[in-house]
C-alpha cells in the first residue's frame, strides 16, 4: 500500500492526538510524552483500532497517526531532553511499505527524539520479522519501547527477542502497589533483568502512595493520572 500525505486520516479532522507525560521519578520533570490516538466519532480508543482492523485498514490508521505525531514533535519544549512516544502495531512494523514510508519522514525529523512503542494487536507475533525491522529502526536512530510488559507470557518473550531500548511495565502492576508485595517483587525482578542499561517506565500511577512506593523500589520513570491525564500538548507546555 503506497501511503501519502493525501491518505492521512487526520486530514478530515476526525482524528487527533492527546498526549500524556512520562515523568522522571527523581525530579518529577518530563522525560517524554506519549501520543495517544483519539477520534471525534469513536470515544473508546479500542473501538477505533477494532474498526480499522476489521476493515483491513490498521496500517493506514497507524501510518496516519505516525505521520501526524511526527509533525507535532516540533512543538515539544526542550526537545533535546524530551522524547515523543508513538504507538505502533507489530502488523505495521512488518508491512513491506512501512520502512519505505518512514524514510520519507526520516528526513524531516530527529529520530533520536522518537520512541516507537510496540503494542499488541492480537495476532501471533512473528519475532524474526519484527526483529529485523526493529534493527533497521535502531540503525536509523529511533528508539524502541515495549508496551504492557508483564501482561502475558508473550511480552516476556518479546523482551528477550527484541531487546528494546525502553520497557513499559503494564499498568496492572501499579494498581494498589503499596499494599501488594507480589507486584513490588515482580517490578523489581523486571528491573533487575536489565540493570541500568534499559530504562523502565511503570504505567498506571494514580495515587501519591503508589508513586512513593514505586520510587522507593527504584522505578526511574512513571506515567499515569497522578501526573496528568491525556490532554492537548499545549496544556503541558
Which alpha helices (H) appear in the chain, and where do they start and end? 45-54, 58-71, 90-93, 98-106, 127-140, 153-162, 181-194, 208-217
Q: Which residues span the domain enclosing 93?
A: 5-235
Q: Is the pLDDT of residue 81 over 80?
A: no
In this prediction, residues 16-27 reach a mean pLDDT of 95
In this prediction, residues 72-78 reach a mean pLDDT of 72
pTM for the model stands at 0.91
Q: Rounded to an integer, what distance in angstroms lies between the CA atom of residue 63 and that of residue 167?
A: 23
How does pLDDT run across 60-70, given as a tens digit for each residue?
999 999 988 88
Q: What is the count of structural domains for the chain?
A: 1
Yes or no: say if 84 and 66 are a contact pair by the CB < 8 Å rule.
no
94 membership: H or E segment, kind and range:
none
**The predicted structure's pLDDT at residue 107:** 62
Q: Which residue has the higher pLDDT, 235 or 93?
A: 93
CB neighbourhood size of 34 (10 A) = 25
How does pLDDT run across 198-237, given as a tens digit for each residue?
999 999 999 999 999 999 999 999 999 999 999 988 888 7
Q: Is the pLDDT of residue 5 over 70?
A: no
How does pLDDT run across 98-112, given as a tens digit for each residue?
998 888 776 666 788
What CATH number does the domain containing 126 carry?
3.20.20.450
- CB hemisphere CA count around 79 (13 angstroms): 12
Yes or no: say if 180 and 148 are a contact pair by the CB < 8 Å rule.
no
**The predicted structure's pLDDT at residue 152:** 73
Q: Which residues lie closer than 8 Å to 103 by C-beta, 6 or more apart?
A: none
pLDDT band, residue 10 (cuts 50/70/90)? confident
How does pLDDT run across 123-178, given as a tens digit for each residue?
667 788 999 999 999 999 999 999 999 887 777 888 888 999 999 999 999 999 99
Helices (H) and strands (E) in the chain, counts: 8, 8
Alpha carbon separation from 81 to 24, 84, 182, 229 (Å, rounded): 11, 10, 34, 21
DSSP 23: E
Amino acid at each position: 500500500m503506497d501511503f501519502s500525505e493525501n491518505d492521512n486520516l487526520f486530514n478530515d479532522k476526525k482524528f487527533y492526538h492527546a498526549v500524556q507525560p512520562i515523568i522522571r521519578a527523581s525530579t518529577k520533570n518530563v522525560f517524554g510524552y506519549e501520543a495517544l490516538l483519539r477520534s471525534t466519532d469513536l470515544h473508546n480508543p479500542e473501538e477505533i483500532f477494532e474498526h480499522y482492523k476489521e476493515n483491513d485498514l490498521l496500517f493506514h490508521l497507524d501510518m496516519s497517526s505516525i505521520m501526524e505525531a511526527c509533525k507535532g514533535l516540533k512543538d515539544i519544549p526542550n526537545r533535546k531532553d524530551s522524547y515523543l512516544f508513538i504507538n505502533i502495531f507489530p502488523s505495521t512494523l512488518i508491512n513491506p511499505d512501512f520502512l519505505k514510508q518512514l524514510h520519507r519522514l526520516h528526513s524531516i525529523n530527529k529520530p533520536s527524539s522518537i520512541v516507537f512503542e510496540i503494542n499488541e494487536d492480537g495476532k501471533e507475533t512473528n519475532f524474526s520479522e519484527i526483529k529485523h525491522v526493529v534493527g533497521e529502526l535502531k540503525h536509523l536512530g529511533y528508539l524502541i519501547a515495549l508496551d504492557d510488559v508483564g501482561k502475558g507470557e508473550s511480552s516476556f518473550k518479546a523482551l528477550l527477542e527484541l531487546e528494546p531500548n525502553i520497557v513499559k511495565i503494564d499498568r496492572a502492576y501499579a494498581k494498589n502497589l503499596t499494599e501488594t508485595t507480589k507486584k513490588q517483587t515482580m517490578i523489581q525482578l523486571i528491573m533487575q533483568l536489565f540493570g541500568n542499561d534499559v530504562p523502565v517506565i511503570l504505567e498506571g500511577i494514580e495515587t501519591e502512595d503508589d508513586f512513593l512506593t514505586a520510587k522507593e523500589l527504584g522505578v526511574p520513570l512513571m506515567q499515569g493520572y497522578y501526573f496528568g491525564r491525556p490532554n492537548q500538548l499545549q496544556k503541558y507546555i
